[in-house]
């Protein structure tokens, strides 16, 4: 995995609970994936170790350089209502 300077400088400080293993798992097997207008790819997946919470991972256009990762409460809530895949 490769990382942007933003990821290396911000994510460990703002989201210390996010583990690299989880990021890799979500990118390789997401429950949902989209391409943003800016070309970045967004992946979502559930983390059983965190009670099924949803991790959102954003990569650059190459699909392998990790830019951001954080738990997405809104996606999780939509999942609970059946509006998103699980």
Residue 35 DSSP SS3: strand
**pLDDT tens figures, 11-55:** 999 999 999 999 999 999 999 999 999 999 999 999 999 999 999
* pLDDT for the residue 86: 87
Residue 17 DSSP SS3: coil
Instruction: Indicate the pLDDT class of residue 10, thresholds 50, 70 and 90.
Output: very high
* pLDDT for the residue 35: 98
Contact 7, 26 (CB under 8 A): no
Domain ranges of the chain: 2-80
């Amino acid at each position: 995995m490769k990382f942007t300077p933003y990821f290396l400088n911000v994510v460990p400080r703002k989201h210390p609970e996010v583990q690299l293993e989880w990021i890799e798992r979500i990118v390789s097997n997401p429950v949902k994936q989209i391409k943003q207008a800016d070309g970045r790819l967004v992946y979502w997946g559930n983390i059983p170790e965190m009670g099924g919470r949803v991790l959102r991972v954003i990569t650059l256009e190459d699909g392998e350089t990790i830019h951001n990762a954080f738990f997405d409460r809104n996606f999780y809530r939509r999942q609970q209502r059946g509006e998103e895949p699980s």
